Amino acid sequence: MRAKSKRAVVFAPLIIAVLIGLSFSKPARIEYHKWRVTAAKSEYQRLLVGEHRLSDTLRELLTAKPVTWQEVRARWKRHEQALVDLGYLRRVEYYARRGKVPLMGDPDFAVVIDRMDKACPCWSYTVSESTVTVTATKEGLELWKQLAPSVGVQPEKPQKNCRRKQKTSTKFFTLPEYVVPAGKL
């Protein structure tokens, strides 16, 4: 056997063992999913505005189906969930004050989104009817906690407006109690 082939026989299993070891390493998995989340987020934004690249066309030719922003968003959310499961990201629900959730067109919300994008590239939010669910790192959630009041959301569920019914005075309308003696009915 030649010396080169002997080295390949020795180093190939070693390289494979290192790659397998890295695939089970929590820090390596976190880095992988962070990379995939940021890639999917940028691809999602690009497809959402209708921008297509040559790579999209080639992928469509090879797979015989177009790449949609819904598929990319699903991929993004799958990697995001993996980061939540690994403990890198956390998910917190914020509630709308006065029943108004922030909208994309709101300039205050646009400023908050921009600040969060710069501070925590892996962060995301989902707006529902009365809540905003934020997924971010611990530091990102601290920043969100500071910014949330400016867009009208709070971490605690707002109490329903349960104003107490004021007691009406019965002072002038008190009727004497009338007790019917037993047997007189």
Per-domain boundaries in the chain: 9-88, 90-157
- pLDDT string in tens for the chain (185-residue length): 566 666 666 666 767 766 666 567 889 999 999 999 999 999 888 888 888 888 888 888 888 888 888 888 999 999 999 999 999 999 999 998 877 888 778 888 889 999 999 999 999 998 888 889 999 999 999 999 999 888 888 888 766 654 444 444 444 444 455 544 555 55
> For residue 66, what pLDDT is reported?
82
> Which residues, 6+ apart, have CB-to-CB distance to 84 below 8 Å?
90, 91, 135
Q: Evaluate if pTM is beyond 0.85.
A: no
Q: Which residue has the tokens 């505005």?
A: 49
The full 3-state SS of the chain, as one line of letters, equals CCHHHHHHHHHHHHHHHHHHHHHCCHHHHHHHHHHHHHHHHHHHHHHHCCCCCHHHHHHHHHHCCCCCHHHHHHHHHHHHHHHHHCCCCEEEEEEEHHHCCCCCCCHHHHHHHHHHHHHCCCCEEEECCCEEEEEECHHHHHHHHHHHHHHCEECCCCCCCCCCCCCCCCCCCCCCCCCCCCCCC
Terminal-residue alpha carbon distance, the chain: 119
Q: Which residue has the tokens 């998910």?
A: 91
Topology at the third CATH level for domain 90-157: Alpha-Beta Plaits (3.30.70)
By DSSP bridging, strand 131-136 and strand 124-127 are antiparallel
